[in-house]
Amino acid sequence: GILQHPDGTVLKQLQPPPRGPREQEFYNKVYDSECCDSVLLELREYLPKYFGVWSPPTAPNDTYLKLEDVTRKFNKPCIMDVKIGQKSYDPYASAEKIQQQVSKYPLMEEIGFLVLGMRVYHISSDSYETQNQHYGRSLTKETVKDGISRFFHNGYYLRKDAIAASIGKIEKILQWFEGQEQLNFYASSLLFVYEGSCQATTMRLSDVTLAEKRGMPKGLLAAGDILEYNNNIHVINSTENGKIEASVSKGLSKFYAFHKKAYSKRHHSQLSLKVETLEQDNVWKSSRCLTQEHLNGNVIPQLEKVFCHMPAESKESTKVQVCMIDFAHVFPSDTKDEGYIYGLKNLITVLKDILDN
């Protein structure tokens, strides 16, 4: 298994030959300080950082790859390991090895990927749900979409923001694969990580002065209605004139959010929250937010965009990591890695289907 080093890195024990030395050679080649190959230099963006090998003082013959812990920056990391490609065996595998790998998941060639496991944080129960490789191998063409979507469900709602951000990162990896003919990858995986903890602030109008009461049309909000903010916006205070300061994740330039609970069937008034201009200290200040001119009853026809189901345009703000791992079966090539490309495209299709539906 993967061990944690006290300095914050992780240690992956070198596998027996030829797999272990092959993986070490791959990392050494990509992270060579004298490397000037643009293809390999770009590949570094999609791998965990490599810090060489390490051996414990008490067992100098045990060798570990010292790698970046890509989950370290997350509070409640949700993690999924997905093997990519149509073949989980390399070109030099024996007939027995091929049969063994194919029998594990006969649909690998058709689907192009296999879920090896997942760990999902549920905010509803403050606990993790864990699924192993048997879960992934039980998925069929008909159930693979639901099986993947389970990774993005936090017990309350589907994290469409994390799905959208993941798609964007996979598309960048796909672009790299479509532009290189140096390496072919077998039995390699994508590691997905997103922040599962909910930083959301549920704000009652009675607690925060969003606008002068006299400036809010009677009946717009029932006494029990609340505004819910997504986990990457946390309202920290409001001033007397209705301006709101919000601490927001990096990367968003403009954001509009509308919540259906603010909609009253008796009054076709709408409530809009407009957040503009990300300042360098990552504090956004909204201008004239929720003042009288925003509450005139005809600002937005429908309250469609709910924070917990954020659209694709906000994907860069979501704390998501997608990196390539497991390189014991990487070989030189003079053609595109069509099997890996097929798997990436199919996975993107499944994720987009989840996002759209």
Could you tell me if 196 and 154 are in contact, meaning their C-beta atoms sit under 8 angstroms apart?
A: yes
pLDDT of residue 302: 32
Instruction: Report cis status (omega within 30 of 0) of the bond before 6.
Output: no
Q: Using CA atoms, how far apart are residues 179 and 111, in angstroms rounded to an integer? A: 23
Q: Using CA atoms, how far apart are residues 9 and 4, in angstroms rounded to an integer? A: 6
The 10 Å CB-count burial string (b at 16+, else e) for 41-72 is eebeebbbebbeeeeeeeeeeebbbbbebbee
pLDDT tens digit string along 176-194? 999 999 999 999 999 999 9
The two tokens of residue 93 are 């595998």
- As a whole number of Å, the CA-based R_g of the chain is 24
Q: Using CA atoms, how far apart are residues 23 and 132, in angstroms rounded to an integer? A: 24
For the chain, which residues score pLDDT lower than 50?
Answer: 200-316
- The values of phi and psi at residue 124, to 5°, are -65, -35
The 10 Å CB-count burial string (b at 16+, else e) for 186-215 is bbbbbbbbbbbbbebbebebeeebbbeeee
pLDDT of residue 199: 60
Q: Fill in the amino acid letter for 225.
A: D
Would you list the domain boundaries of the chain? 1-69, 70-198+317-356
The two tokens of residue 346 are 């199919």
pLDDT of residue 271: 31
For 282-295, give the DSSP string. Answer: SEEE-SSTT-GGGG
Reference 46, options 18, 12, 84; nearest CA is 84
pLDDT of residue 189: 98
Average pLDDT, the chain: 76
The rounded percent of the chain whose pLDDT value lies above 70 is 67
Q: Using CA atoms, how far apart are residues 15 and 18, in angstroms rounded to an integer? A: 8
pLDDT tens digit string along 9-64? 999 999 999 999 999 999 999 999 999 999 999 999 999 999 999 999 999 999 99
What SS3 state is found at 153? strand
Could you tell me if 195 and 231 are in contact, meaning their C-beta atoms sit under 8 angstroms apart?
A: yes
| Among the four given CATH numbers 3.40.50.1100, 3.40.50.360, 3.30.470.160, 1.20.1250.20, the one describing domain 70-198+317-356 | 3.30.470.160
Q: How far apart are the first and last CA of the chain?
A: 37
Evaluated on CA atoms 290, 292, 296, 299, the torsion sign reads negative
pLDDT of residue 317: 57
Q: Using CA atoms, how far apart are residues 258 and 145, in angstroms rounded to an integer? A: 28
For 213-262, give the DSSP string. Answer: GGGS-TTSS-TT-EEE--TTEEEEEE-TTS-EEEEE-TT-SEEEE--GGG
pLDDT of residue 318: 76
Those residues with Cβ within 8 angstroms of residue 36's Cβ, 6 or more apart along the chain or in another chain = none
